Amino acid sequence: MTARAPGTAARLEVFPRVDALAHAAADVIRSAAADAVRERGRFTLALAGGSTPRAVYSLLSADRTFPWSNTEFCFGDERAVPPDHPDSNARMVRQTLLREDLAPPERVHRIRAELPPAEAAADYEQVLRALFAGATLPRFDLILLGLGADGHTASLFPGSPALHERSRWVADNWAPALGVHRVTLTLGVLNAAAAVLFLVSGRDKAAALRATLAADGDDAATPARAIRPANGSLRYLVDADAASDLDPR
């Protein structure tokens, strides 16, 4: 059982509908980008996959005030498929966030998941080690995460081997319930971020969100609980459906 460390002051914001959540998330990303570029000259962003972020990415896609040329677009995880596959997160991001071609190609760092999973993970780790040269762990300015109905986040699934990875930055992982391979940032990287932003919508996520936010629980059963940035902010932007199992107080 794990308890929420007192230092992890998570901030939860509930929105009546998913469109309001998307606008709020886009504003958080814009603000983080502006701060990072002002302070360090670049914004390092790890993108979430799945469907929830699509609306957020589409809102940002035509924003000419966004620092496209100063942002390093990375991925939190990827399915073990080629970039033109319908399940590819890189494909989803190309169709939404990057559809206006405002980001220079050299700023977009997809996971080459057309390679065998272990090779794709090693390859991506080299990409990140070049982006965060000399770092013991990469400190992303912002990592976007979703939440699966089973409590997974990125591609860290309940009972999956990558949950126990303590040295690699990027790992290949087996998703037992889905029977598929994935490539994912590991917990050390996720928890080294300056800011982590969860985007959660839908009633099917209500039980997982309750388990994630509960004071006590089991990280192995609900991997999203293990996201506790050691020296960073943790925010959950959720819609009312996803929050429907939470205690009202």
Q: Which residues bind ligand 6PG (CB under 6 A)?
A: 48-52, 76-77, 89, 146-148, 152-155
Minimum separation from the CB atom of position 90 to ligand 6PG (A):
10
Which residue, 67 or 89, has its beta carbon nearer to ligand 6PG? 89
Nearest residue by C-beta to ligand 6PG?
146
Minimum separation from the CB atom of position 3 to ligand 6PG (A):
24
Judge contact between 79 and 157, C-beta under 8 A: no
Which residue, 72 or 77, has its beta carbon nearer to ligand 6PG? 77
Minimum separation from the CB atom of position 156 to ligand 6PG (A):
8
Which residue, 42 or 85, has its beta carbon nearer to ligand 6PG? 85
Which residue, 36 or 238, has its beta carbon nearer to ligand 6PG? 238
Minimum separation from the CB atom of position 101 to ligand 6PG (A):
23
Which residue, 74 or 147, has its beta carbon nearer to ligand 6PG? 147
Judge contact between 157 and 177, C-beta under 8 A: yes
With vertex at residue 201, the alpha carbon angle to CA 96 and CA 23, rounded to the nearest 5 degrees, is: 55
Minimum separation from the CB atom of position 67 to ligand 6PG (A):
24
